[in-house]
Structure 1
Amino acid sequence: MKSLGSIRRSFTPWNDPAAKPYIAFENVTKRFGDFTAVNNLSLTVFEREFFALLGASGCGKSTLLRMLAGFDEPTAGRILLDGQDLRGIPPYRRPVNMMFQSYALFPHMTVEANIAFGLKQEGMPKAEIGTRVAEMLRLVKLEQFAKRKPHQLSGGQRQRVALARSVAKRPKVLLLDEPLGALDKKLREETQFELMDLQQSLGLTFIVVTHDQEEAMTMADRIAILDKGEVMQVATPAEVYEAPSSRFVAGFVGNVNMFEGTVASRDDSGARIASSNGLTIMTKNAGAASAGSPVVFAIRPEKIKVSSRKPANDDVNVAEGEIYDIAYLGDMTVYHVKLADGHVVKTSSLNASRISDDPLSWNDRAWISFSPDAGVVLAK
C-alpha cells in the first residue's frame, strides 16, 4: 500500500469508524464583542494523539486552546472531553494542563520546587511528591539542575522545567501554546523530537498551537489548518503537504507554484490543462475537475526539475525560461526561473553531491519539467 510521504507511526484512530474522539469541538463559536474569533467550528482529537493547531496570528487557534483549558467559554456550541461537556467546569477541575510560551516559572523557586508546586497544591503526600519530581527530572534530563533557580538555566532548560511541571500532575491532556517560540532554531529543532518522544512515553494527548509550519509538520500526527476562525483542512502532515484541500492550504504550508488554467480534456488517467501562460500540463491528480472547468494546478518546488538541457518530451509539463535568482542553502539550491510571460517558477534541487554536473548561474537559459504525478489540481 502506497502512502503520501513518510509515516511517523502507525497510530491512525481517525481512520477507524469505531474509534471515539477524546476531545470534540461541536459547532463552537467564540465572539469578543463584534469580533468573531472562532466561527461555528467542529473538530475532533483522539486519545494519545499529538495534534497541532496551525495558522497565522488571529486565526483562532489560541482561543480554541483557552476554551479547552477553561479560561474562556464558548459563545455557542460545546466542547466535550471524554464524553463530558466542559461548560461551566472551572480550569482547576479539568483534567487539562497548559504550558505557556513564557513558561511562567517561579523565579524564587528551584527547579525541583517549581515541578513540585502543583503537586503540593493538590495535597499529594511528601514522599510521593519526591518520587514524582525525581521521575520528571529524569524524564527531561535535568537531574543535575534540580537545585538551580530559573535564571541559572538556559532557555532550553527552562522550557524543560515548564514541561516537567506541566506533566507532573498527569493531566489527560497537555496544551502547549507556542511552546518553542523562545528557543533558537537549532535548539527548537532538537526539542521538537524530545517533545515527540516524551508524548509517546507518557501516553498523553498533546495539543500544540503554533504558527510555525515546520514545527507542526515535525511533531504532529495530524494538523488542523485554521483561517479566520474556521478549519480549512485537518489531515496528517504528509496529506496537508502533498494533497492540500484548497489554494489557501497549498499556499500556507510550504512553498508552492500555482498555475491558473482550464481543463482541456480529461479521462480516467487524469487531465490535460491549458494554463494561462501557455504551458500545457498533464496531471494524474485531477480530482473531480471536469473538462472546461477553471482550475489551479499546484506543484511544490522540489517536484520540478531544472536543467540547462531540453528534456526529451517537450510537449507537456515542460517550459523554457531564464534563471532569475539562485539561493544556495547548503543541503539544497533554490532556483527562480522566469518564463517567457514573466511567470516566476520556484524549483529546488537537493545537493546530493559536492560537485554539480549541470551548473546553472544567473541569466542562464534553463528548462523546467515535472512528471504527471508531481502536482495536484485544486478547484478552489
Structure 2
Amino acid sequence: MKSLGSIRRSFAPWNDPAAKPYISFRGVTKRFGDFVAVDDLSLDIYEREFFALLGASGCGKTTLLRMLAGFEEPSSGQILLDGQDLCGIPPHKRPVNMMFQSYALFPHMTVEANIAFGLKQDGMPKPDIEKRVGEMLRLVKLEQFAKRKPHQLSGGQRQRVALARSIAKRPKVLLLDEPLGALDKKLREETQFELTDLQYELGMTFVIVTHDQEEAMTMADRIAIMDKGKVLQVATPAEIYEAPNSRYVADFVGSVNMFEGKVAERSAGSMRIADAGGALTIKADNTADVANGDTVWFAIRPEKLRVSSKRPADVPNAVEGEIWDIGYVGDMTIYHVKLDDGRIVKASTVNSQRVVEDPLTWHDRAWISFAADAGVVLIR
C-alpha cells in the first residue's frame, strides 16, 4: 500500500459517499460595504474532524469562523450545523464555543472560577459544576493550579485554562482562532500535539483558524487553503503538500521550486517538459490533462532534490550549477544552487550522519538531480 505521506489515523468520512457533513457552508458570501471578505464559498466539515482554515491575513478565514460562531451574519448563503440552519440564532444559543487568541480570561477570578463561569451562567447545579470543573482541570493537567489567578500562570497554562473553559459546556463544535499565537516556539510545538490528543479523546469537532502552516499540518485531519475569500483546495496535510492543485497552494505551503516550461512530448503516464530557461528537459510522471505545446509548471520540494559533486547516473533529471549559499540548521543542510541561467534552486538534505564524506562549499560546482515522480505538474 502506498500513501501520500504518513497516515495519522484512519478517520476519513469525506471519502465515504454516504457520510453526512456535520457543518456545511452553502454559497456563503460576506460583504463589508464594497469589500467581499468571503466569496460564494461552499465547504463541508465532518463530525469529530479536526479541520483547519489556513491562509494569509485578509483571506477571509476568521470571518468564516465568526459567521459560524454567530458574531457575523452571512450577506447571502446558508450555514448548517447538524442539519440546522444557523441563520438568526444568536451566539449564546449556538452549540459552539470559541477560544480566542487573547484567551479572554477574567483576571480577578481563579482558574476554577474561570472554568466554571459559563456553567454558572447556564444555571447548572453547584455539585454538577464542581464535578465538571474537576474533570476539566484533570483533562488539561492543572489540578494544582485551581486556586491561582491568570497572572500567576505561564502563557501555556493560561492557554490550557482558556481551553478548559471553552470545552466545559461540552459544545458540539469548538472554534479556535489562532489559539497558539501567544506561545513561544517550543511550547507551541508541544501544545499542538496536546490539542490533537485532547480532540481525539473528547471526540469533538474542532475548527481552527491559523496562518501557521506547520500548526495546520501538525494538527488537522484536513486543511482548507483560502485566498481572497475563496477556498482553493481542501485536502489532508499530506495531499496539500505533495499534490497541490495550483501554483498558489504549492508556493503557500512549505518551500517549493517552480520550473516553467512547455510540454514537449507525452506518453502513457509521463511527459517531457522543455524548461523555459533552457537549462534542462524535465521527465515527469503526471496525470495532468495537457497537450503538446501547453505551458505547465513543474513544482518540486527542496527535500526531493539531491545535491552532489558529480552527475549521478541513476536519475532521469539533472542540471549543473554553482553552490551560492549554504545554511546548516542542525537536522538538515539547505543549499541554494545558482544555475547557469541565473535562477536559484533550493535543495535540502537531512543530516543523518555526523560526518560528511563529500562536503560541498560556496562556489563549488554541483549537480542537482531528481526522480520523475519527485514533483507535480501544475496547469494553473
Structure-1-length-normalised TM-score: 0.99
The equivalent of 1:253 in structure 2 is: 253
Q: Tell me the CA shift for residue 312 of structure 1.
A: 1.5
The equivalent of 1:43 in structure 2 is: 43
Q: Tell me the CA shift for residue 109 of structure 1.
A: 0.2
Q: Indicate the larger mover: 353-362 or 93-102.
A: 353-362
After TM superposition, the structure 1 = structure 2 runs for residues 1-380 of structure 1, keeping only pairs within 5 Å, are: 1-278=1-278, 279-312=280-313, 316-380=316-380
Q: Tell me the CA shift for residue 268 of structure 1.
A: 1.1
Is contact 1:260–1:295 with CA below 8 Å preserved after alignment? Answer: yes
Q: Deviations over 1:325-357 (max 9, x none)?
A: 111110000000000000110000000000111
Q: Tell me the CA shift for residue 289 of structure 1.
A: 2.2
- Return the alpha-carbon distance in structure 2 between the equivalents of residues 77 and 322 of structure 1: 54
Q: Deviations over 1:6-43 (max 9, x none)?
A: 00100000000000000000000000001100000000
SS in 2 for 1:171: coil
Q: Tell me the CA shift for residue 286 of structure 1.
A: 4.3
- Return the alpha-carbon distance in structure 1 between the equivalents of residues 291 and 270 of structure 2: 10
Identity of aligned residues (%): 76
One-letter code aligned to 1:81: L
One-letter code aligned to 2:260: E
Q: Tell me the CA shift for residue 287 of structure 1.
A: 1.8
**How has the CA–CA distance of structure 1 residues 274 and 282 changed in structure 2, closer, same or farther, with 3 Å as cutoff?**
same
Q: Tell me the CA shift for residue 269 of structure 1.
A: 2.6
Q: Deviations over 1:291-325 (max 9, x none)?
A: 211100000000000011111258x4100000011
Is contact 1:103–1:162 with CA below 8 Å preserved after alignment? Answer: yes
One-letter code aligned to 1:282: K
C-alpha RMSD of matched pairs (Å): 0.8
- Return the alpha-carbon distance in structure 1 between the equivalents of residues 255 and 41 of structure 2: 27
Is contact 1:271–1:286 with CA below 8 Å preserved after alignment? Answer: no
SS in 2 for 1:20: coil
One-letter code aligned to 1:194: E
One-letter code aligned to 2:197: D
One-letter code aligned to 1:363: H
One-letter code aligned to 2:348: S
- Return the alpha-carbon distance in structure 2 between the equivalents of residues 319 and 22 of structure 1: 49
Q: Tell me the CA shift for residue 290 of structure 1.
A: 2.0
Question: What is the aligned length?
Answer: 379
- Return the alpha-carbon distance in structure 2 between the equivalents of residues 45 and 132 of structure 1: 28
SS in 2 for 1:372: coil
One-letter code aligned to 2:49: E
One-letter code aligned to 1:301: P
- Return the alpha-carbon distance in structure 2 between the equivalents of residues 290 and 222 of structure 1: 32
> What are the ranges of 5 or more consecutive residues in structure 2 without an aligned counterpart?
none
Structure-2-length-normalised TM-score: 0.99
4+ residue stretches of structure 1 with deviation over 3 A? none
Q: Tell me the CA shift for residue 230 of structure 1.
A: 0.3
One-letter code aligned to 1:283: A
Q: Deviations over 1:161-186 (max 9, x none)?
A: 00000000000000000000000000
Q: Deviations over 1:93-147 (max 9, x none)?
A: 1000000000000000000000000000001110010110000000000000000
One-letter code aligned to 1:155: G
Q: Tell me the CA shift for residue 2 of structure 1.
A: 1.2
Q: Deviations over 1:60-119 (max 9, x none)?
A: 000000000000000010100001100000001100000000000000000000000000
One-letter code aligned to 1:298: A
Q: Indicate the larger mover: 341-350 or 262-271.
A: 262-271
- Return the alpha-carbon distance in structure 1 between the equivalents of residues 187 and 286 of structure 2: 38
SS in 2 for 1:224: strand
- Return the alpha-carbon distance in structure 2 between the equivalents of residues 221 and 339 of structure 1: 38
Q: Tell me the CA shift for residue 254 of structure 1.
A: 0.2
- Return the alpha-carbon distance in structure 2 between the equivalents of residues 242 and 280 of structure 1: 22
SS in 2 for 1:297: strand
- Return the alpha-carbon distance in structure 1 between the equivalents of residues 74 and 289 of structure 2: 37
Q: Indicate the larger mover: 350-359 or 173-182.
A: 350-359
**How has the CA–CA distance of structure 1 residues 28 and 215 changed in structure 2, closer, same or farther, with 3 Å as cutoff?**
same
SS in 2 for 1:198: helix
One-letter code aligned to 2:83: G
